[in-house]
Amino acid sequence: MCIRVQGEYSMPAKTVLALAFAATTAAGMSGGAVAAFADDAVRAPGAVQATETASPMPSSPESPGASPSAGPSESFTAPDVTAEQAISKAMEKQQDSTIASAKLESEAGTETWQVETLTKDDKWHQVTVDATTGEVTEDKESSESKQSTAVKDAKIKATDAIAKATEQQPGTVKELEFKEKDSKGSWTVEVVDDQGMTHEVKVDAETGEATMQPAETPTMSPTESPATSPTP
């Protein structure tokens, strides 16, 4: 603890007591009087005041300003209508067509399957299937598509790819897409397991070989650094 002289400077309490002892000893005061004098000197208004500065406490994760911990990811609930059933409904609507992709989407609390088909005359269609009732709610022709027309020549069709993928990784399919790279076709299938984790399985469109893909890890920019715990 330090003694601060108002408007001037501060000194340790021990120094004040030592000075008081020296002054009162010279004056012939007793030990008790010395203590009383020193105490009065500390407490006397306009003379000196004792001040203490609290040491800063380490911040905790719960304190304001601390970074909140990441919460659990949103849970996945399997739809009433499976990917295979949605594909079947889309093919009933667009007969003799080829399935190129199927994706489960949610909007305003309504889940739908967006199924993309390619007709014999190379016209793309987007078929919307209600993921709860299985009803086809929309069928529209699409002038543009990111898919390749090579899907028509794939030996492994959409439902075959789903079967191969779920054999490799059991779970619920939430997305299926045909891709072509270097004149080689493959299916990318996203499967959600019983713990809610999403896995990506690649199925060769020629041989049907299913391969688990490594999980993607978020990349960090050069200016970012890993999060660190607060320093006590």
pLDDT tens-digit map of 5-64: 444 444 554 554 455 445 444 445 444 544 444 455 444 444 444 444 444 444 444 434
Question: Tens digit of pLDDT for each residue in 137-180?
Answer: 999 998 777 778 899 999 999 999 999 999 999 999 999 999 99
R_g of the chain, CA atoms, integer Å = 38
Spacing of C-alpha 169 from chain mean position: 24
The pLDDT value given to residue 214: 86
Name the residue among 98, 219, 213 with its Cα closest to residue 158: 98
What are the distances in angstroms from CA 131 to CA 39, 64, 161, 211, 226? Answer: 83, 43, 20, 28, 40
Name the residue among 4, 94, 108 with its Cα closest to residue 49: 4
Whole-number Å distance between alpha carbons of 221 and 224 = 5
pTM: 0.61
The pLDDT value given to residue 216: 57
- β partners of residue 112: 105, 130
Question: Tens digit of pLDDT for each residue in 171-211?
Answer: 999 999 999 998 899 999 999 999 999 999 999 999 999 99
The pLDDT value given to residue 87: 98
Residue 225: pLDDT band with limits 50, 70, 90: very low
The pLDDT value given to residue 86: 98
The pLDDT value given to residue 114: 97
The pLDDT value given to residue 28: 52
